[in-house]
Amino acid sequence: MPVICHLHQLEHQDLHLTGELATEELGLENLDELLHDFSPLIYDLQVQLLDRTVLVRGTLTMDYRAECARCLKPFASRLHLDSWNCLLRLDDEEVTPIQGDSVDLTPLIREDILLTLPQRPLCKNECDGLVSQPQEADVKAHGKDNKPGLSPGWVELNKLKL
């Protein structure tokens, strides 16, 4: 169910909106191959009418699973926007589409979630990625003293006694 703000209710008092928003409502189910298993979005919002604008403030929280872009290990993560703000101008319907006497906040929430999700999720900032193993052919061809990452030319130079 989308997050709807009824404008006629705002004329008398501020609104407090809480609830959950399904992943399907936000269109996140096939977003990225590294991001998946999104939990429903939990929202807690305060809505105020200020002249011809609507101020929305609150928190947005969602858990998800991801795969590290460097090492491909799966890990759990949380998206938490603890001071989400949105200012809607009611005098411009191109910016704020009003349907009847209500405004749907769901597209605005979705946009900010997409901007906050990582483009390259990492299990930890220090992740070194996949550890490469020395190839058997390299060890046989260049002897046991060949260290991974050393080219064969350097191995031969290391054998020189100068």
pLDDT in tens, 84-108: 999 988 876 666 677 778 888 999 9
> Model's pTM, two decimal places?
0.74
Could you tell me if 109 and 21 are in contact, meaning their C-beta atoms sit under 8 angstroms apart? yes
pLDDT in tens, 97-156: 777 788 889 999 999 999 999 999 999 988 888 776 655 555 555 555 555 666 777 777
Between 63 and 142, whose confidence is greater?
A: 63
Instruction: Provide the pLDDT for residue 155.
Output: 79
- Phi and psi (nearest 5°) for 142? -120, 10
Task: Please report which confidence band the pLDDT of residue 159 belongs to, taking 50, 70 and 90 as the band edges.
Answer: confident
Task: Please report which confidence band the pLDDT of residue 161 belongs to, taking 50, 70 and 90 as the band edges.
Answer: confident
Name the burial class of residue 155, with classes exposed (0-12), middle (13-18) and buried (19+) by CB atoms within 10 angstroms of its CB. middle
Q: Cβ contacts of residue 77 below 8 Å, gap of 6+? A: 63, 64, 65, 66, 121
- Phi and psi (nearest 5°) for 155? -60, -45
Task: For tokens 């926007």, name the residue.
Answer: 81
